[in-house]
Amino acid sequence: MFNKNLNFTNISSTGNKNMVDHLGIEFLEIGEDFVTARMPVDHRTHQPFGILHGGASVVLAESLGSVASFLTLTDPTTQRAVGLEINANHIRGVSSGWVYAKATPLHLGRTTHVWDIKITSEEGKLVCVVRFTVAIIAVK
């Protein structure tokens, strides 16, 4: 499923000083049919009441889903994976530590991908459920 010529190093080489770096998101594993990442729950990702900001969860999910789609591209010099739609249900609050995200494909078409992304706490409790749709576009 994933392009064997692509890995997290390919993605990291696109530069830093972006949202992923700012929030401390780390890509962890590429499996047979999944990709994982983690994000710290700290001052960068808290909302004013000291718990994980829902928007930070969405950034984690969209970043992971976009990377997962990128890793499936047959020719990343002519194609790009860009977010098209995202839906998140926030289940549980987290105030510290790390949250972990796992993206698995629901659909990998020629022009769209749909990912199921589950975000969990360090204890394995469900924090957020996300469905993310990615458009596969041509590089101009």
Catalytic residue numbers read 62
Six-digit token string for 1: 């499923």
* Residues near 49 by beta carbon (within 8 Å), at least 6 away in sequence: none
Q: Does residue 58 contact residue 41 with C-beta atoms inside 8 Å?
A: no
Q: How many helices (H) and strands (E) does the chain have?
A: 3, 6
- DSSP annotation of 6: -
Six-digit token string for 24: 């401390």
d(CA 100, CA 77) in angstroms, rounded, equals: 30
Q: Tell me how far the alpha carbon of residue 3 is from its chain's centroid.
A: 17
